[in-house]
Each structure stands twice: as C-alpha cells, then as structure tokens.
Amino acid sequence: MANALLTPELLRRLEQFQLLARRRAKSSARGERRSKARGQSVEFADHRNYVPGDDFRYLDWNMYGRLEKLFLKLYEEERELPVRIFLDASESMGFGEPAKFHFARQIAAAVGYVALCGFDRVSVVPFPENRDEMAVRGALRAVRGRKSALNYFQNLGYLTAKGTANFNESLRRGALEARQAGMALVLSDFLDPNGYEAGLTALVGRGFQVNAVQILAPDEIAPGTFGDLRLVDAETGGVQEVTFGKYRLAAYQQMVQNYCQRMKEFCQGRGISFFMAPSNTSLEQLLLKQLRQAEVWG
C-alpha cells in the first residue's frame, strides 16, 4: 500500500497494534470494542431471569440443573471506538524544516491506520475551515475499515496549512458535534494567542479520552539566527523588528521550555496524555515507543 506519509515497513509494524480505550466504547455501531451494551458476542457478561419469548438457544441449562429455574445468558456487545483527530491546519503549521504540518499528517495517518485496522471509526477534523478543501475534508469524516486506508492517506495528503485558526472554538465545536465521545487526538503547535485551555477542557468535559501532541519546529525551540531581525506572523501578517542576541536566545529558550512545561502540567491535571515532539522527531520513536509506553495503543 503505497502512500507519501508512511513507509510500507512502518505500516506492517502498526498493524500489530490496537488503540487502548480506558473507557468502554458507547458507539451504536458494531466493531471490536467491549461495550456495556448487552449483545451476542462470545464474551459472557451476566444472567437474567427467563421471560416468555426469549430465545431458548441462550438458556443456561447448567443453572437450570442446579436451581431448577430458567436463566438467560447475556454477553458483552462489541462496539467500535470513535476516534476523532483534530488537525491544526493553520498557516503557522507550515513553518519549519521539516514542516510541522507534514509531521502532524504523518501522525494522523498512523493513528488512523491503527484505528481502521481495528474496525474503529475515524474522523479527521482540520481547522480552520478551508472552502477549497470541502470535498476532501468531507471524505475524512467517519472513515471505516482497513480497505479505506489508501483513500484515507490520499485525502490527508491533499490537505494544506492555510489561514488563521481559533483553536479553542474549533475544539469546542468539534466536541459538541460528536455524537459519541471516544478517543480524541489533538495535533497542533498549541501557540494560539488565546491559549489552549478552553478547547482541551471542552473535550474532557464531553467525555473524550484526550491525547495531545505538541509539534514545534526545531527553529522555534532553538533559533539559529541572530542580529537585527524582521519577524512576520505567518497567520496575521503582523510585523515586528527585534534585535536578537545570544542573551535573548537563552531567555527565549527558557520561555519555550516553561510554556511546554505548563502545558504538560495542565494536561496531566486533567487526565490528558501529553507528548511534545519537534517536527524532526523520528516518527518510529514517537509511534512505536512513546505512544506505546503511554498506552495509547498496544
């Protein structure tokens, strides 16, 4: 299965994993997740008293032999896990070498592929809105089945980073639009001037199991340019001229570290799994080690 985001070797390794849901799935569609709903899978759940009209095939004759009363066997219904991937597609995500947006799409491709192989339902929610990509974005909603993987990869590849995003509003709206809560993966640099707290809180409040991956470019973490600089905001077009010496570089790096640490602590305090990944991070390192150790999948 050829695609520009993941290598065939990595795809083969990802096929061995399954997303680990800490909460039982509540979706109404059948899948391979244990649910609190009662159905007819092979996983026994409980008994209940027989009532006229029940299917005799599910009577527990061993119980009848001991108690001389009829009981019906109940089984765990298998349901799919809704997986919602919030993908920051704002202009600033196009920054860096390699670009933050390309790395974010690779992560979305990998997590989506694991979900599709496990018969879970995947929806990618890029933000901000882009009318030029409405058809592609529509095709990335409610994707099911391993056979859909190739189209899923292709549609991810068509997405571009453009415009200015409202991070908190995008996540809040996405949380409200979801019919059922499930697993939420948020891929962003989390550098919105209005913060990230309200958006992530909205997902947690809706009942999502949230995983947040902060993607920064290497030059955002440790800039290699000094002197008199003219900085242009990629999203707003705002211009600011600064003198950037080695002293300011040290202060800037400390500020970035403090920002990331505060976000990590915010997430930990709300049960959100947090990962910080520069855009030049080894994809295998993030997917096969960090996410696995954090029990996002296994």
pLDDT per position as a tens digit, 92-140:
999 999 999 999 999 999 999 999 998 899 999 999 999 999 999 999 9
C-alpha to C-alpha distances, 13 to 238, 278, 285, 290, nearest whole angstrom: 44, 23, 13, 15
Residue 228: its pLDDT value, please? 61
Q: How many residues does the chain have?
A: 298
Q: Where are the domains of the chain?
A: 8-24+80-293, 32-79
Question: 94-132: b or e for each residue (b if 16 or more CB lie within 10 Å)?
Answer: bbbeebbbbbbbbbbbbbbbbbbbbbbbbbbbbbbebee
Structure tokens at 171: 């996540």
Query: Distance between CA 241 and CA 256 in Å, rounded?
Result: 20
Which residues, at least 6 apart from 69, have a Cβ–Cβ distance to it below 8 Å?
49, 50, 63
Say if residue 289's pLDDT is above 90.
yes
Q: 4 falls in which pLDDT band (50, 70, 90)?
A: confident
Which residues, at least 6 apart from 269, have a Cβ–Cβ distance to it below 8 Å?
none
Residue 71: its pLDDT value, please? 84
Asked if 107 and 287 count as a contact pair (C-beta separation under 8 A), the reply is yes
pLDDT per position as a tens digit, 210-245:
999 999 999 999 887 666 666 666 666 677 776 667
Nearest 10 degrees: Cα torsion 207, 157, 9, 278: -70
pLDDT per position as a tens digit, 28-63:
454 444 444 444 445 555 677 877 777 777 788 888
In CATH, what number does 8-24+80-293 get?
Answer: 3.40.50
Residue 31: its pLDDT value, please? 47
Residue 135, helix vs strand vs coil = helix
Query: Distance between CA 8 and CA 288 in Å, rounded?
Result: 15
